[in-house]
Amino acid sequence: MMNKYDHMVDRYEHRFFDKNLEKYGLSGPVGVYLMKIYCHHSIKMNTLIGDLMFHKSHATRAIAHLDELGYVVKTVDPEDARGYVLTITDLGKTVAQKVTETARAWEALVNSAITEEEIKIMNTITEKVYYKVVEYFAEDPINEKDL
């Protein structure tokens, strides 16, 4: 499904996020974790890891980094002492807003190259592929509010 340009655009996206987030000590993928925690304010670490597309070892390093930077606080889960709860700090909220601004700037840059009609077509195609893959794995689709 990917064409020769997908990989190149993906590399530029990483560069864009890295360039815009380096002053906060973040890379694009680590910013994704911060955004997910920001959306929930507080979330179980296992839930966060299960919701995102990265490997568990990457998640563990990213979360440790966010904790070191003071963007999140990692505490033992009171319901299960084997797990952790991640809570965003006030500083983390401020930085998460910068990550959101960066994501919007990237989206605006990309969308400036295509028309509204082309965006609708791309979204329709992606949605069709998503539902086909969900059907293949015999799973229930993710609730859109969880995306």
- The stretch 14-43 carries a mean pLDDT of 93
CATH number of residue 74's parent domain? 1.10.10.10
Cα separation of 53 and 41, whole Å?
20
Greater model confidence, 49 or 64: 64
Note whether residue 18 is domain-resident.
yes
Contacts of 80 (CB under 8 A, 6+ apart): none
CA distance 80 to 109: 44
- pLDDT-derived band at 146 (thresholds 50, 70, 90) equals low
Smallest CA-to-CA distance from 83 within 43, 35, 54, 51 is with 43
The domain tally of the chain equals: 1
Banded pLDDT at 118 (limits 50, 70, 90): very high
Residue 127 lies in a domain: no
Does residue 53 form part of some domain?
A: yes
User: Which domain, by its residues, includes 57?
Assistant: 4-113
Could you tell me if residue 97 is inside a domain?
yes
